[in-house]
Amino acid sequence: MQPTVLVVEDEPDIVALLRDFLSVAGFGVATAGDADAALLVLDAHPVDCVLLDVMLPGGSGFDLCRRIREQSEVPLLFLTARGDDSDKLRGLGLGADDYIVKSATPAEVVARVKAVLRRTPGHGDRGAPSALRFGELAIDLAAHEVALADRPVRMTAREFELLRVFAAHPRQVLGRDQLFELLWGSWGDRSAVSVYVRKLREKLEADPARPRLLVTVWGVGYRFDPPGTR
């Protein structure tokens, strides 16, 4: 069964980024924009983990954490722009399992969600897909290994994460800004996306100059076009 993360956040852009990256990692995602909506979700659906902002419309994430802890021991992580030590101590004192400042990349957030779940009996990476195959391309998500026509393809960690994102969204156009924010966060040189797409093409395409697997959609971004999906 796919583990589900409830994201309690009122900024749509942050929700979209987290949803994309958690989905790539094999999680189901539920969302809520305020404390009341979050409690309704928790009452109505089984949730394996909660990602919770401190500053919410009409109330405080600290107050919501206290209300959740009155009825549940569900793993809970704060994800907030408030990075003061006093806020961290308050959040952890209320029963949160981790406290993440929003300068963290989405990849780090997912890693820390997984770490919390591994420490929680009965959770961990259960239900997450362990391998994907697209024709001759095989991607082992657990081992971080890639093979093409049964031959291993060596990849850096960043190359593998970019390929993982594409593989989770076959035939879907992904914008350069979207890819950058998923893998690098909000700051840095966004030309890195083009550089790493080129690296993937050199390793996976029969003719990198005429790509058929990682296609450029001019003016928009890139699309993963594996065999059998065209």
Element (H, E) at 204: helix 192-204
Q: Which CATH architecture has domain 4-118?
A: 3-Layer(aba) Sandwich (3.40)
Quick one: pLDDT band at residue 205, thresholds 50, 70, 90?
very high
Residue 126 has pLDDT above 50, yes or no: no
Total-model pTM: 0.58
Higher pLDDT, 82 or 50: 50
> In angstroms, rounded to a whole number, what is the distance separating the alpha carbons of residues 40 and 206?
51
| Contact between 7 and 30 (Cβ < 8 Å) | yes
> In angstroms, rounded to a whole number, what is the distance separating the alpha carbons of residues 163 and 28?
20
SS3 content of the chain, % helix, strand, coil (to 5): 35, 25, 40
Average pLDDT over residues 41-63: 90
Q: Both tokens of residue 143?
A: 């081992």
pLDDT digits (tens, 9 = 90+) for 145-197: 999 999 999 988 788 888 988 988 888 898 888 888 777 765 567 788 999 99
Whether 131-224 and 4-118 are alike in CATH topology: the answer is: no
Other C-beta atoms lying within 10 Å of the C-beta of residue 186: 12
Domain-wise residue ranges, the chain? 4-118, 131-224
Question: Rounded to the nearest 5°, which phi and psi values hold at 145?
Answer: -125, 145
> In angstroms, rounded to a whole number, what is the distance separating the alpha carbons of residues 219 and 99?
38
- The CATH topology of domain 131-224 is Arc Repressor Mutant, subunit A (1.10.10)
> In angstroms, rounded to a whole number, what is the distance separating the alpha carbons of residues 216 and 178?
15
What is residue 122's predicted lDDT score, i.e. its pLDDT?
58
